[in-house]
Amino acid sequence: MKQYETVIGLEVHIELATKTKIFCGCRASFGAKPNTCVCPVCSGMPGALPVLNKKVVDFALLAGLALNCQVNTFCKFDRKNYFYPDNPQNYQISQLYLPICHDGYVDIMTPSGTKKIGIHEIHMEEDAGKLIHDDWTDSTLVDYNRSGVPLIEIVSEPDMRSEDEVIAYLEKLQSTMQYLGVSDCRLQEGSMRADVNLSVRAIGDTALGTRTEMKNLNSFKAISHAIAGERERQIELLTEGKSVIQETRRWDDNKEASFAMRSKEDAKDYRYFPDPDLPPIFISDSWISEAKEKLPEMREQKLLRYQKEYGLSRYDAELLTMDRAMAEKFETTIRYGAPPKKAANWLTGETMRLMKEKERTASELIFSAQHLAELINLIEKEVIQNQTAREVFSEMFESDITPEVYIDEHGLRMEKNSDLLFEAAKKIVEANPKAVTEYKEGKDKVIGFLMGQLMREMKGKAAPSQAQEAIRKILSAY
C-alpha cells in the first residue's frame, strides 16, 4: 500500500485586544448586552463611514515583526462582498491585494528538532456580528456588538505535516500574541479561530494534492481529531481510486466528524475591490522601528535566560514563561530582592497550586510581586518559618495583605529571645532522658525528634537554627 503524507496550512483569525473597534469608537468588549456597543458605522447604517483605528495597525505590525514578516509599507483595505445578516454592510472590510505583512516564519519544536513554519501573509480585517437563532419564535436575531472588532488573519504556508505540528504552531502563535499583548488568543471564546487546509499526497510526490478547508474548530482536541479524521477520509478516497473534491467542510463537535459545506463550484465570488472610503496606509520606517523597539522579550529568550542567569531548570522556566503575566510576576519579585530560585519555587509551587484550585489565570493574580518578595525575605531572615509563610501567602493570594503587618497583627513572629528558648529546650531535654542516652550513643537523629517537641512547645515561633543550636548546647553539657 502507498504511504501518504499530510500537508497542512492554517488560516488563523486572531481578535486584537484594542479598547475600541477597528473602524469606529465603539467599545470592543465581550459579554455586553446585545447591540449596546454599536453605532451607525458598525451597524451598517446608511451614510456611515469607517475611520481606521491606528492601534490596530500598531498591533498587526507588532504581530508581523514578531513572526519575522516583511512589511508592506504601502497597504490598503479591500471590500469582500457577500450577503449575510451578521455582516451589516454585506461587505467585510479586509485586505486582499496589499496586506500589511507577508513572507515570515516561526520556529516550532518537534520531536525531531526545530522546524520553520512559513507565514504567507497577515492581514487586518473586521469581525462580523453574531446570529442567535430563537427556536421558540423560529426567527434569527442579530447582535452587532462583535461587528467591527479588529482581527488579524495569519495565513501559514502549507508547511505542517501532522496534528502535533499544528498544535505546536498554534501554541507558538498563542504565546507570541499573548507576549505582545495584542490578543489573549482563546480558542473556546473565539478570540483565536483556526481553519485547517489539508491535503494528502504519496510520499515522494512534490505536487500538492487537492485540499479541503475545515472550519468551526473550537479546541485543540477538535483540531487534532478533525485532522486525523480528514487525513483518513482523503487517503481512503484515494485508495479507492476516487478523488478528493476541493470543498469547505464544517466540523461537528458532537458528532466528532466534518461535513461538506460547499464545494469549489459554488464558491462565492467576493468581488474584492479597494475600499474607496479608506485611504491607503503608509507605514514609515520610523513607524516600523518604533514598533521594533516595543517588541518585548519573547518566551524563547526568557526560557534560555532563566536557565542561564537564574540557574532554573528547563521545566521551571517553562512553567514560569507559559504566561507573560507569570513571567513578569517572577521578574518583578526578583527585582524586589527575592532570591530567583526561591521566587521560582513560590510561583511554580504554592501560587500555581492555588491558581488551579481557585481557577485563576496569571493575569488575575492579586498579590503584588513586592509583597511576595517581602514574604520570601521574611523566611530567609527566619522571622517566620515556612509553614507560617504558607498561611500568610494564602491570605495574600486573596487580598494582597502586607506580610509583615499581617504577621505582627497575628503574632506569628518567631521567638528571638534566646533565654526563653534555652529554658524551653532545657525542659524538653530533661523530659526525654531516653533521647539523651541515644544521643550519647551517637544517634544524631534524635535531634530531629527533640526539635519537633521544642517547636510544638514554642507554637512554631522558634527559629529552627536557633532551636537546634540550643538543643545541641544542652545535650553536649550532659
Partner 1 sequence: MDILDLTATELAEKIKRKECSAVEAAAACIEQIGREDKKLHAFLNVDADAVLRRAKEVDRGIETGIYTGPLAGVPIAVKDNICTKGMATTCASKILENFVPFYNAEAVDRIEAAGMVLLGKTNMDEFAMGSTTETSAFGDTKNPWDPAHVPGGSSGGSCAAVASGEAFLALGSDTGGSIRQPSSYCGVTGIKPTYGTVSRYGLIAYASSLDQIGPIAKNTKDCAALLSVLAGQDSKDSTSVKRTDTDFLSAAGDDMSEMKIGIPVEYLSDGIDDDVKESVLKAAEWFKILGASVEYFDLGLTEYTIPAYYVIASAEASSNLERFDGVKYGYRSSSCEGLHDMYKKSRSEGFGPEVKRRIMLGSFVLSSGYYDAYYLKALRVRAKLKEAFDRAFSRFDIILGPAAPTAAPRLGTSLNDPLKMYLSDIYTVSANLAGLPGLTVPCKINKDGLPIGVQLTGNCFAESKLFQAAYGLEKLRGPWQLPFMRKECME
Interface with partner 1 (CB under 8 A) = 40, 43-52, 79, 81, 83, 85, 88-91, 140, 142, 269, 271-273, 276-279
* Residue 195 CB, nearest approach to partner 1 (Å): 21
Nearer to partner 1, 283 or 421 (CB): 283
CA distance 474 to 476: 5
* Residue 197 CB, nearest approach to partner 1 (Å): 20
* Residue 46 CB, nearest approach to partner 1 (Å): 4
Helix, strand or coil, per DSSP, at residue 245: coil
Distance between alpha carbon 107 and the CA centroid of its chain, in Å? 17
CA distance 383 to 375: 10
Nearer to partner 1, 34 or 460 (CB): 34
* Residue 79 CB, nearest approach to partner 1 (Å): 5
Instruction: Give 457's strand partners.
Output: none
* Residue 84 CB, nearest approach to partner 1 (Å): 8
Contact in structure between 153 and 122 (CB atoms under 8 Å): yes
Which residue is listed with cell 488579524?
Answer: 152
Q: What are the DSSP calls for 413-463, one per residue?
A: PPB--HHHHHHHHHHHHHT-HHHHHHHHTT-TTHHHHHHHHHHHHTTT-B-
Contact in structure between 467 and 425 (CB atoms under 8 Å): yes
Nearer to partner 1, 88 or 99 (CB): 88
* Residue 89 CB, nearest approach to partner 1 (Å): 5
Q: Where are the beta strands (DSSP E) in 207-301?
A: 212-217, 247-252, 257-263, 273-274, 281-282
**How is residue 347 annotated by DSSP?**
I
Q: In sequence order, what are the residues at sequence separation of 6 or more whose Cβ sits closer than 8 angstroms to the Cβ of residue 462?
A: 414, 415, 421, 424, 454, 455
Nearer to partner 1, 52 or 288 (CB): 52
Q: Which helix (H) or strand (E) holds 198?
A: strand 192-202
* Residue 275 CB, nearest approach to partner 1 (Å): 8
**How is residue 187 annotated by DSSP?**
T
Nearer to partner 1, 141 or 208 (CB): 141
Nearer to partner 1, 268 or 459 (CB): 268
* Residue 40 CB, nearest approach to partner 1 (Å): 5
Nearer to partner 1, 84 or 259 (CB): 84
Nearer to partner 1, 221 or 271 (CB): 271
**Residue 350's CB: how many other CB atoms inside 10 A?**
16
How many residues are given for the chain? 478
